[in-house]
Amino acid sequence: MKRDPYKFLAEEFEQLESGVLKAKHEYHSFTLSTIKEKKPESRTVILRNVNKKIYSISFNTDKR
């Protein structure tokens, strides 16, 4: 079954919006990984804001 990509994206943004509002939502915290000097670095981040109009999310982390 082929899914409508626009419907899928809308559903995901609904989940992201719930993740901003509910600390126990599975989207509220997640692991972000990047590469620095050819080595992976991962950190837990907390979802803080979602903007559907410009398809952006904001999150934060700390030094730990």
Q: What is the pLDDT of residues 2-18, one digit of tens each?
A: 889 999 999 999 999 99
At 60, the amino acid letter reads N
Asked whether the beta carbons of 13 and 27 are under 8 A apart, the reply is no
Distance separating alpha carbons of residues 26 and 12, to the nearest angstrom = 12
| pLDDT of 63 over the 90 cut | no
The contacts of residue 16 (CB under 8 Å, 6+ apart) are 27, 47, 50, 57
Q: What is the helix (H) or strand (E) element at residue 6, kind and residue range? A: helix 5-21
Q: Is the pTM of this model over 0.85?
A: no
